Chain A
Amino acid sequence: MDFAFFLIQLLNGLQYGLLLFLVASGLTLVFGIMGIINLAHGSFYMVGAYLAWSLAGMTGNLATAILLAIPLTVVLGMALERLLFRHLYQRDHLYQVLLTYGLILVFEELRSLIWGDDVHGVAVPALLNASISLTENLSYPVYRLAISGVCLLLAAALYFLIQKTRLGMMIRAGASNRDMVQSLGIDIKLIYTLVFALGIALAAFAGMINAPLSSVFPNMGSSVLIICFVVVVIGGIGSVKGAMAASLMIGLAETFGTVLVPEVAGMIVYVLMAIVLVWRPQGLFGKA
């Protein structure tokens, strides 16, 4: 493996990891703050990708499509929180699993009814459709670099939001003691709705920006969801920092695994998870 090839895999791994972070951070926030397990989180990734594809077809431009799709997913997230998830905060995880499992089936069938069962490609925006040559015959697509850049920006924004703003303070307080926050006069219900919508918008956005690379296809959400579960388990529930570390770890492990040991690549992430479970059952950044 020469250096240019190694560099390409490294960049691919980082890009994949950063994309996973967008999906997993929403999952871990909703877990950590509301104590909700959302199996349908991957469906929002799929919804994002399909929205990007169909709106890009209508407007002829992926950037416009994404700008139109983000408010739609935020509204979807808020509506679902109000209508369904709100009833489950005080219930056993079992019912959350069941409800969100049902939700996956509903989303998949609606996708089939609205958009059909075909695989569709999404064009890379013209502005970013270029590559940087590394050697004479190896080059790296600008679009992938752009994705990594956007993900890093969002990660920084998320960190700022949670750690440095007043809203972030309320979110963190809500995670540790819901009733206390409410008695202090903060509308915790509104905060929950916002966090839920934020998590969903992040997952959907990941689906949108990745659509040109992955194309859009049925059941695309489930594999992402399960990898994100592994990310959350390794990083520790509720820890955004942990989600970042674990996402990068998984992204690199899977990318290099696919290149070096393709036969067992699918299992590597689970072996990693098993090791972390033995060593630190609460995850790398989880509280004991």
Chain B
Amino acid sequence: MESRVSRYLPYLAFGLLALFPLTESTFYMQLLTKVLIMAIFAMSLDLLVGYTGLVSFGHAAYFGLAGYALALMSPGYDAVSLWWTLPAAVAVCALFALFTGMLVLRTRGIYFIMVTLAFAQMLFFVFHDTKLGGGSDGAYIYVKPSMKLGDFELANLEKPAQFYWLALFLMAATYLLLHRVLGSSFGRALLGIKVNEHRMRALGFPVFRYQLASFTLAGSLAGIAGYLAAMQYGFVNPEILSWHQSGAVLMMVILGGMGTLYGAAIGSFAFIVLQEVLSNQAWFGAWAKHWQLAMGILIMLVALYLPQGLAGLAQKFRGKPAPEAADE
């Protein structure tokens, strides 16, 4: 049971984050926007890895697909409306997740990891080899989508602060939605499936349908993140759905502590800050170019010595038992 304090902690965090633009530091605001976007992405993967027991190594497919959907829907110099492009991008991801989910969920364990990776790679080649999204050069999003109610401009997303608030709003919405879903009987059933699939099947739960629903929801939420990321950078190329992206987001989930939604957010924060620090030329000089070496070693250390991530570490210090280990 969660205590009263921890129940209100997320709202406090969202409130404090909402005040950040008052610092007027555009650089850090943009960095934090990236963290918020990756937090949405990481939470969506945590739904699969931490709560449904499905290790997907191709989650970047949905992230990148939504980015490409936005790029294809806004080819010109006129702002498209966010009201229909965001739902449309998410719907594309949901459909693709539903389709791939039906195939990949026929497999388990090592197979599942490889097959999710292979499908993501297939999408990579679709965008890399065909002219659809500009091939390996990618495509530009010249103007960020608009948010208008009639003639009234609700937000101007070209302004970093307003874009930041949109990302924060969607991140908070994703968190609350997932919190709700996981607390429902559906979420309990998912956890049951994670622990023992055969028992849940014997109890009469339609395991496949539950997993497919979870897989589709995770893909759709990753789509929200991908849409925002494409909007932030103003361009997409096949790299955004490459397996390095899938690996990075998996690292964020584990680093923060899987099976805890806030852990995914902490993990994306830690990962992005680390990336910024390690690739800082002023501090590391020539080694900054090789920041992935330090990152790689760090990832290996986390895999070996910090299986429950930072959230597990915090709980250990507070003397609580770590959340249930993710053993077989």
Q: Which residues of A contact B (CB under 8 A)?
A: 31, 35, 37, 84, 87-88, 91-99, 101-106, 108-110, 112-113, 222, 226, 229-230, 232-233, 237, 263-267, 270-271, 273-274, 277-278, 281
Main DSSP-derived SS at the B contact region: helix
Asked if A233 and B118 make an inter-chain contact with CB atoms under 8 angstroms apart, the answer reads yes
Nearest CB in chain A: distance from B121 CB, A = 5
Binding site for A on B (CB under 8 A): 49, 55, 57, 103-104, 106-107, 109-111, 113-115, 117-119, 121-122, 125-126, 128-130, 243, 247, 250-251, 254, 258, 290, 292-293, 295-300, 302-304, 307, 326-328
Q: Knowing A98-B302, A101-B251, A103-B300, say if A109 contacts B290 (CB, 8 Å).
A: yes
B322 to chain A, nearest CB (A): 14
State the CA gap A273–B115 with chains docked (Å): 8
Complex-state Cα separation, A94 to B296, whole angstroms: 16
| Contact (Cβ within 8 A) A31 B110 | yes
**A98-B251, A109-B296 as given contacts; A274 in contact with B103, CB under 8 Å:** yes
Question: A131 to chain B: closest CB distance in Å?
Answer: 30
Contact indicator B55/A93 (Cβ below 8 Å): yes
By a CB distance below 8 angstroms, the chain A residues around B303 are 88, 95-96, 98-99, 102
Residues of B close to A99: CB separation below 8 A: 299-300, 303-304
B129 touches A265 (CB 8 A): yes
Q: Give 25 A-B contacts (CB < 8 Å), ordered by A residue.
A: A84-B304, A87-B304, A91-B307, A92-B328, A93-B109, A94-B49, A94-B254, A97-B250, A98-B251, A99-B304, A102-B295, A103-B300, A105-B299, A106-B296, A106-B297, A113-B290, A233-B111, A263-B129, A267-B122, A270-B119, A270-B121, A273-B118, A277-B103, A277-B107, A278-B103
**In the bound complex, how far is the Cα of B126 from the Cα of A188, in angstroms?**
44
Q: Which A residues are CB-close (under 8 A) to B299?
A: 98-99, 101-102, 105
Contacts of A232 in B (CB 8 A): 114
Least CB distance, B252 to chain A, in whole angstroms: 11
Given A92-B327, A267-B126, A278-B106, A109 contacting B304 (CB threshold 8 A): no
- Min Cβ gap B128→A in Å is 7
CA distance A112 to B289 in the complex (A): 10
Which A residues touch B250, using CB under 8 A? 94, 97-98, 101
